[in-house]
A and B are shown apart, each in its own frame.
Chain A
Amino acid sequence: MSVNVNRYKCGYCGACVGVCPVGALELVETWIEIDNTCTNCGVCAKICPVGALAVVK
């Protein structure tokens, strides 16, 4: 996994799912899942309304 989700911050809105260019994210109830197609591009982290996502270098 190359994006870290701070689950104490995440508002499970799914905005990150909509911007992921490769469809690597999925929102299941309150849980963001990230699969191994993630390219580390960081768009999800950029647009997160609460800053719950961070690219792991």
Chain B
Amino acid sequence: MKEKYDIIVVGAGPGGSITAKTCAKAGLDVLLIEKRQEIGDPVRCAEGCAKEGLIKHIQPDKRWIAAEVKGSKIIAPDGTQIKMSEEDSGGKAGYTLERKVFDRALAQEAAIAGAEVMVKTRATGLLRTNGRVSGINAMYMGETHEIKADIVIGADGVESKVGRWGGIDTSLKPDDIDTCAQFLVTNIDAGEYSKFFMGEKYTPGGYVWIFPKGPNSANVGLGILGSKCGKVRPISLLENFMKTNMPEGKVIEIVVGGVPVGGPIERTVADGLILVGDAARQSDPLTGGGIINAMDAGKIAAEVCIKAKEKGDYTIRTLNEYEHRWRATIGKQLIRSLKVKNLLVKLSDEQLNQLAHSLEEIDTSKMPLPKVLPILFKKNPKLLWELRTLFI
């Protein structure tokens, strides 16, 4: 460990590792820290991910692809199924990842690109010079250190502290978080599709997912909107789902976690500071997906860091480019997803069935969700009137 780096990245998830790798490749002096002693473990993710978004960032590798899926099936409360997101060629459209291996592979790429990596190293605060963020307080093996940097990247996930220390309020209200539980279930027929079960019947303000992790096993999980949690908990609803729907299934892992679903927050940069991924609340409010968004944001953050280094200016003036670029891309999608989610959570199971039936005569199997939504709107203008600004 040195006394000073160009960039310190806090958190070695996909967002942090892509930021570190991209900066290191450009010759910047990078330190990537991870507070856990094992990168990638414990997992807090359903591990589903579209192929298209992923291959922009890393060459697919069998070691971290648990399964390939043909597409998605959305299942309405009455059992009506809607197929989506298949590839034109009939090939595989998505992956279920093995995050324990995937996250390590990404951190390894950052390390090979030249970044220094420290595990079991926790940021405990920010250093400041003339009011600007200028490094971190860190704890490694019980000892505290001051490490300076021109820019600190907060990629510290749903539980992010870096933003708060930097004066950005990232605290999630109960409406802004999906609280989730997941079992890795084996001894089942996992099928070839990622499945999403909608409706209050299964879970309030969320959905149940089944993502294949191989022919005989799958991630089976569900989320509850935080504001609807308390009387019922994700873990007990999931146990019920298992009993009713896959009594033959055997649980070989429990995963729990919270997913930010509140949409874009007001600010993700400060002088000497950038937030990336779940820490910047960039996960999709509708699907809960965050891996690709975090990696895309990490890439943008790194490109802005490289520019800042060239200019020698680490203030908001230069770092604001990150803010503008991610909001123009990821941000727009988040806002659309938030609007759709906010409406969907209000619909009754009967209304969800109605939506599913309206698609019965349309072949949506090759369409991604953003293409299906306008069709849904056209067929159900009254029910979805709130979304008109998205489609008219």
0/1 interface trace, chain A 14-56, chain B, CB 8 Å (1 if under): 1111111101001111000000000000010011111100000
Chain B hits for A14, CB < 8 A: 44, 157-159, 257-258
Tell me which of A20, A21, A29, A51 contacts B235 (CB under 8 A). Answer: A51
- Whole-angstrom CA separation of A46 from B258 in the bound complex: 12
Interface magnitude class on chain B: 20 to 34
The answer to the question of A13 belonging to the interface, with a C-beta cut-off of 8 Å to chain B, is yes
- The total number of A-B Cβ pairs within 8 Å is 89
- Whole-angstrom CA separation of A48 from B230 in the bound complex: 8
The answer to the question of B128 belonging to the interface, with a C-beta cut-off of 8 Å to chain A, is no
Nearest-Cβ distance from residue B262 to partner chain A, whole angstroms? 11
- One of B110-118, B175-183, B209-217, B365-373 at the interface: B175-183
Nearest-Cβ distance from residue B47 to partner chain A, whole angstroms? 15
Chain B hits for A11, CB < 8 A: 181, 254-257
Chain B hits for A16, CB < 8 A: 258
Tell me which of B172, B230, B234, B235 contacts A18 (CB under 8 A). Answer: B172
0/1 interface trace, chain B 87-119, chain A, CB 8 Å (1 if under): 000000000000000000000000000000000
- Whole-angstrom CA separation of A50 from B257 in the bound complex: 10
- Whole-angstrom CA separation of A29 from B141 in the bound complex: 12
Is the beta-carbon distance between B233 and A19 smaller than 8 angstroms?
no
Instruction: Given A14-B257, A15-B158, decide whether A49 and B171 contact each other with a Cβ distance below 8 A.
Output: no
- Whole-angstrom CA separation of A9 from B171 in the bound complex: 24
Instruction: Given A18-B258, A27-B159, decide whether A49 and B180 contact each other with a Cβ distance below 8 A.
Output: yes
Chain A hits for B170, CB < 8 A: 18
Instruction: Given A11-B256, A51-B235, decide whether A18 and B181 contact each other with a Cβ distance below 8 A.
Output: no
The answer to the question of B36 belonging to the interface, with a C-beta cut-off of 8 Å to chain A, is yes
Is the beta-carbon distance between B36 and A13 smaller than 8 angstroms?
no
- Whole-angstrom CA separation of A15 from B235 in the bound complex: 14
Is the beta-carbon distance between A19 and B157 smaller than 8 angstroms?
no
**CB nearest neighbor in A for B44:** A13
Give residues 115-169 of B contacting A (CB, 8 Å): 122, 157-161, 164
- Whole-angstrom CA separation of A29 from B164 in the bound complex: 20
Chain A hits for B287, CB < 8 A: none
**CB nearest neighbor in A for B278:** A18
- Whole-angstrom CA separation of A11 from B122 in the bound complex: 19
Is the beta-carbon distance between B171 and A50 smaller than 8 angstroms?
no
Is the beta-carbon distance between A49 and B158 smaller than 8 angstroms?
no
Is the beta-carbon distance between A19 and B257 smaller than 8 angstroms?
no
Nearest-Cβ distance from residue A26 to partner chain B, whole angstroms? 7
Is the beta-carbon distance between B171 and A19 smaller than 8 angstroms?
yes
Tell me which of A12, A23, A47, A51 contacts B164 (CB under 8 A). Answer: A23
The answer to the question of B56 belonging to the interface, with a C-beta cut-off of 8 Å to chain A, is no
Is the beta-carbon distance between B256 and A18 smaller than 8 angstroms?
no
**CB nearest neighbor in B for A9:** B235
Chain A hits for B42, CB < 8 A: 12
Is the beta-carbon distance between A18 and B158 smaller than 8 angstroms?
yes
Is the beta-carbon distance between A46 and B230 smaller than 8 angstroms?
yes
Is the beta-carbon distance between B177 and A19 smaller than 8 angstroms?
yes
Is the beta-carbon distance between A15 and B257 smaller than 8 angstroms?
yes
Chain B interface (Cβ within 8 Å of chain A)?
35-37, 42, 44, 122, 157-161, 164, 170-174, 177, 179-181, 226, 229-230, 233-235, 254-258, 260
Chain A interface (Cβ within 8 Å of chain B)?
11-21, 23, 26-29, 43, 46-51
Q: A13-B258, A49-B233, A49-B256 are in contact. List 15 more A-B contacts (CB 8 A).
A: A13-B257, A15-B177, A15-B258, A17-B158, A18-B258, A19-B171, A19-B173, A20-B171, A23-B171, A26-B159, A29-B37, A43-B173, A49-B181, A49-B234, A49-B235
